[in-house]
Structure 1
Amino acid sequence: MPKTNRKLTRVVIERRDSTGETYTQARDGVLATLTLPETERQAHAFAAAVALRQAHAGEDEPTARTAVERIQDIAAGNGWTFAEAQTWFDDPGNELLCETCGWVAAMACPECTGCGCDNATCTGWRHKEFMDPDERAELERARNECPECGGDMQNHYDCRCHDEG
């Protein structure tokens, strides 16, 4: 089988899986868009994705447009297909809680306000789990720091307040 037919089949299957169309409908749609210039093809695909989100997710047109743009960004940023990015986007655990720290609903801490902005103040296990290694090391240093001289109280290095006697 020629490579072009395999590629066409893959694209048709991807469209069928992401849109819910039958294989024949998806193939007709792909073949119809193949004759269009690239910019028109992308515009057509974008409009189709917006219409599908409106129909299946019950979103209004501006919300669906924003969602499709975000899904395209996620797909491009991670090297995913549109369908994979859409699955990730629609997962309620991936809903963004905080623009500042980037925490999502699955990361929410039950012991504080819930977001990563509280890493320095909350001692909840979620904060340690989702911290960068640098943040963990900084928190550990702050916890072991002598309040009087700033030395390490864990092993008493550089702590001049520790009584050697």
Structure 2
Amino acid sequence: MPKTNRKLTRVVIERRDSTGETYTQARDGVLATLTLPETERQAHAFAAAVALRMAHAGEDEATARTSVTEIREIAEGYGYTFAEAQAGYDDPRNQVMCTTCGWTNGMVCPECPGCGCYNGQCSGWRHDEFMDDDERRARNECPDCGGDSTNHYDCRCHDEG
């Protein structure tokens, strides 16, 4: 049981707003789940989150279960609340646009057709921004000596003459 009525009221209002239940139904549901053991409470919360994803995101049950599991992992991994993790998960900028390179919609390169797989006719500034150090080193490596061909650091092939 929450230590104060104010805390209980906040939880009930949050549930009412997210589920569409009346205040009394939400309060009864919150009070019923508070008396459950922790494992059953977690199972109830998971089932409620799946039902909400099905209702509000329009996902089928299998997709909703997968989504809730991924959102929960994000929340636990980064220390976010479930609502914060869900907002990030549903943000269109975070949707994967290319399964080959893993780029999301927020990483789109404005100079080329889009993702990290293509880097033929653009300056590559956006590609460099999202490359890890090994990829960047391999891209800028001199084919003859292995030095950095962009600034000629450790490149023995560059004529300083």
Inter-partner Cα distance in structure 1 for 2:96 and 2:122: 20
TM-score for both structures, normalised by structure 2: 0.73
1:107 aligns with 2:129: no
Q: Which runs of 5+ in 1 are unaligned?
A: none
Indicate if the aligned counterparts of 2:128 and 2:136 stay in contact, CA closer than 8 A.
Answer: no
1:126 paired residue number: 126
Q: Which runs of 5+ in 2 are unaligned?
A: none
- Displacement of 1:104: 1.5
- Displacement of 1:98: 4.6
1:159 aligns with 2:160: no
- Three-state SS of the structure 2 residue aligned to 1:86 is helix
Equivalent AA in structure 1 for residue 28 of structure 2: D
Equivalent AA in structure 1 for residue 35 of structure 2: T
- Three-state SS of the structure 2 residue aligned to 1:109 is coil
More helix by share: 1
Inter-partner Cα distance in structure 2 for 1:16 and 1:9: 10
Indicate if the aligned counterparts of 2:147 and 2:153 stay in contact, CA closer than 8 A.
Answer: yes
Q: For residues 3-82 of structure 1, what are the structure 2 equivalents within 5 Å?
A: 3-82=3-82
Indicate if the aligned counterparts of 2:94 and 2:105 stay in contact, CA closer than 8 A.
Answer: yes
Q: Give the root-mean-square deviation of aligned CA atoms.
A: 3.4
Indicate if the aligned counterparts of 1:152 and 1:159 stay in contact, CA closer than 8 A.
Answer: no
Identity between Structure 1 and Structure 2 (%):
66
Indicate if the aligned counterparts of 2:137 and 2:148 stay in contact, CA closer than 8 A.
Answer: no
